[in-house]
Structure formats: C-alpha cells, structure tokens
Chains A and B, each alone.
Chain A
Amino acid sequence: MSSTSTIYDFSTLTGSIDASLHSWMAPGLALTAELVLVGLVFLTFYALLGLFLVYLERKVCAVIQNRYGPNRVGPMGLFQTIADLIKLLMKELIPIRRADHFLFNLAPFIVIIASFMAIAATPFARGLQAVDLNIGVFYVMAVSSLGVVGILLAGWASNSKYSLIGAMRSGAQIVSYELSVGLSLLAVVVLSGTMQLSGIVESQANGWWIFKGHIPVIISFIIFLIASTAEINRGPFDLAEAESELTAGFHTEYSGIKFAFFFLAEYINMFIVSAIGATVFLGGWMPLHIGNLEAFNHVMDFIPSMVWFFLKTFFLIYVIMWFKWTFPRLRIDQLLTLEWKYLMPISLVNIVVIAFIALMGWHF
C-alpha cells in the first residue's frame, strides 16, 4: 500500500466535514447536523438506486429478449422509472374491505425499514460506511431477514387467497434459504476470523477470499449466489409472486405507492445481497491484485475504491438478473428439495472442510 491508498480515503472527507461542523456549532447541534446530513445522503442514494435498478432490470431483460426496452422518456429511456414513480404516487390507495387495516398498512413500513437498515452497514468505499459493527455479517443477515415478516403480514392482512398462498410460499422459501446464506457466509468468517465487514475487507488486501480459499470458498460462493437469489424472491425462485398462477402473490391487494414500496424493497434487497457477496467473497472495495505484477497492481491502486465496489456489486446484480431471464420458475417441492436435500448438506460438509483448511493453515 503506497500513498495512492490514502488519496481516495473517504474518512479524510468525513473527518473534515466533522471538524468544520464542530468548529462553529455546539457539539450536540453538530451531531444533529451530521445525522441529518447522513440521513439525507442515504435517502437520496436509496431512492436513486431503486429507480436505477428498475431501469437496469428492464434494459437487461430487453437485451436478453432481443428488444429495445424503455427508450421514449428521456435519453435512452432513463427517466422512464421516474415517470412510473410519479404515476404510482398519483394512484388511489384502495382500502380492502374486511382486510386487517393496521397490519395491511404496517407491512410496507417493515419491508422498507428492513432494507434501509441493512444498507447502513454496507462498506461502500475505504472509510465510507455508516455503521461499522463488530458483528456486521450477523447484523446484515438479521436485519434483512426481518423483511419476511413484512411479506407474511402483507399476505395475511389482505384477506385474499392469492396473497395468502404467495405469502406462505415466500415464508417457507425465505426461511429455508436463509440457512444456506448464513452457512456460506460462515465460510469466510472462519477464514478471516472476524464478523466486522470492514475487517473482512481488510483481510482481503493480499487477495480476495474467492481466490485465497481454494475450492471450498468457491463452492460457498456458488451456494451464496443461489441461496441469496432465492432469499430475495427473484426468479427462478419467484413463486411467491408467480404472475401466471398467483396474480401478484403477497402484494396482489396493494395499490399505488404501497405497491411501489414492495417493488422497491425487492430491488434494494437485490443490491444488498450483491453488495454483501462482493464484500465477503470478492474483496469489497479492494482493487484486483495479481501476485507479483507490481506495475499492474500499482495501476489498479489508482482506480478509486468506490468504483471497485460498485463494479463488483453490479456484476453480481447482473448475474442475478441473468438468472431470472434465463431459467424457468421452480415448483415449491423442487424448491424445498433443492434447499434441504442439496444445498444444506453440501454447505454443512463445506463448513467442516473449511474449518479443517483454516486449522491446517492451508489457505493463503
């Protein structure tokens, strides 16, 4: 690590903002100002990210199906999702007769807050992370799995058959696949010896875990990709909202902006799992270094850490979208068989193998 590693360090930027606020404000006021600033930045990021991911999905789908995709509103259709958002904001919110109105209205709050709190722990770049907990991996898993409560509430409170079937399927699917996600992340926690996300990134300074950890970590990574695709209800595991049989699954009865929140949360969750996958397995914001190629490594150091993070994350997002538009949807029995009879035993054995590798010190 040379001087290049410090020029892109965001902690100098945040530190100078902190110092300048404290220089002319009382400490309590400065803290409030900082919190408001962080809240506004993340709110903007969250909204823009959601809009961009929906646009990206439609474009990727169009490319795979040999179409143009959205191309009328704005340059290359970039403003299409903004127009959609305004339309959804202006739509009537229909109260369903005989629904449980309190739970019905509570569900979008839970889904959005769960995804918003998970994004707080994402390490975006060197020194740019809102909350750096020492149990980071565990926190992200815990918070993102809260979303299933919102989905079950939405399905149950609607008092509609389609919603109920969708919610039940979704519940069974999310809780099952959560185990495999946890076990595959454990592989890297064993090797790096920490659950802190920034610590895991630091441990990959001399090579990403997917390269350092031999074949078992590659197996973990593949299990993580499959299981997290299922956990966020994306195709080919999207039978919670299988359009052809369940109308829209758990959010059949939601209209207007409440529906938009479920839609938004689904896309943000896709970003979260990709970001966690990129951070844990692909080195997060660490640049790509190859062995002893000093010149190559030095050039790679000049690419800002944030660019690396977003490149890796969007690569994984693209892979997850690619899954959706390539594979046919599974049935519920196939889905549960895949998890309990294949992924689960494989990941249990894999953890033991990785623990053995860590014990013998065979990883790099």
Chain B
Amino acid sequence: MNSEMLILFFIVGLVLVGGAIIFSSLAAPRSVNPIKFDPYECGIPTEGPAWIQFNVGYYLFAIIYLVFDVETVFLFPWAVVMKSIGTRAFVEIVIFFFILVLGLLYAWKKKALKWA
C-alpha cells in the first residue's frame, strides 16, 4: 500500500498546483505593458542579465556540506543497529568521528569556514 500512497501524494500535489495555476490563468485579468515584464530592479530599467559569476564562498560551503551529508547517510543505518551490536558499533563510530572531526578542523584551520 505504501508505494501507491506515495504516488498518490505526488499526484495530488501536482493536481493542486496545476489546477490552481490553470484556474488562475483563466480567471485573472490580463493587460500588456512593455515595462511590466522586466525583472524588478528598484524601479529603474533593468540592467543586464542576472546569470553571472557568483561568490565562490557558497561553493566552498557546498563542498564541506557534501562531505558531512554523506557521513549522515552512513550514520542512519548505524543508529538503528547501535543498541543491538553494542560496544563494537560504539568503538567504530568513535573512530569514524575522529577522522571526520580531523577534516572539519582542517577546513577550520584553512579558514574555509570563514565568510570572505
């Protein structure tokens, strides 16, 4: 029953958004004005596209995030069996965290966690 339910929720979400947008585009008034379709920019005419190079700081955080996110994925199965396996699981996770924290400390020392 579970997979049908998930597909159902997906479809209902799709119908909710699609239906409302279709209804709105039929019901709403429409008027044409050349200025109106420009992206907003404080009321002055729009200057150039917004698709430009971007601050590299976000990219650094994305990379660090990726490392720790993969780690979280490993932790979830560990957490479920932690109590049944016992000491072995605990020692293993301490070693795992030791390596991870070294990585975090390295990033910290390299000033990767500092917003520039």
Cα separation A355 to B80 with both chains bound (whole Å): 11
Given the interface pairs A90-B28, A190-B79, the reply to whether A179 lies near B61 with Cβ below 8 Å is no
Chain A interface bracket (under 10, 10 to 19, 20 to 34, 35 or more): 35 or more
Query: Are A355's CB and B90's CB within 8 A?
Result: yes
Assembly CA distance A190 to B64 (angstroms): 25
How distant is A140 from chain B, measured CB to nearest CB, in Å? 12
Interface pair A337/B65, CB less than 8 Å apart: no
When the two chains form their complex, are residues B80 and A193 in contact, meaning their CB atoms are under 8 A apart? yes
C-alpha spacing A18/B108, complex, angstroms = 57
Whether B94 contacts A352 by the Cβ 8 Å rule is yes
- The answer to the question of A144 belonging to the interface, with a C-beta cut-off of 8 Å to chain B, is no
Q: Which of B21, B39, B83 contacts A190 (CB 8 A)?
A: B83
Scoring A residues 145 to 161 as 1 if CB is less than 8 Å from chain B, else 0, what string do you get? Answer: 00000000000101111
Smallest beta-carbon distance B47→chain A, Å: 9
Q: Give chain B interface residues in 1-53, CB to chain A under 8 Å.
A: 2, 4-6, 8-14, 16-18, 20-21, 23-25, 27-31, 36-41, 49-51
**Chain B residue nearest in CB terms to A47:** B16
List, in ascending order, chain A residues with CB within 8 A of B55's CB: 168
Verify if A25 is at the interface (C-beta below 8 Å from B): no
- SS of A interface (majority): helix
CA of A146 to CA of B115 in the docked complex: distance in angstroms? 26
Q: Which of B17, B40, B50 is A261 in contact with, Cβ under 8 Å?
A: B17
17 sample A-B contacts, Cβ–Cβ < 8 Å, listed by A number: A39-B11, A90-B28, A97-B39, A116-B10, A116-B13, A117-B9, A163-B39, A168-B58, A179-B68, A193-B80, A193-B83, A253-B40, A336-B115, A337-B115, A345-B104, A355-B89, A356-B90
Question: Chain A interface (Cβ within 8 Å of chain B)?
Answer: 31, 35, 38-39, 42-43, 46-47, 89-99, 105, 108-109, 112-113, 116-117, 119-120, 130-133, 135, 137-138, 156, 158-164, 168, 171-172, 175-176, 178-179, 182-183, 186, 189-191, 193-195, 247, 252-253, 256-258, 261, 332-333, 336-337, 340-341, 344-345, 348, 351-352, 355-356, 358-359
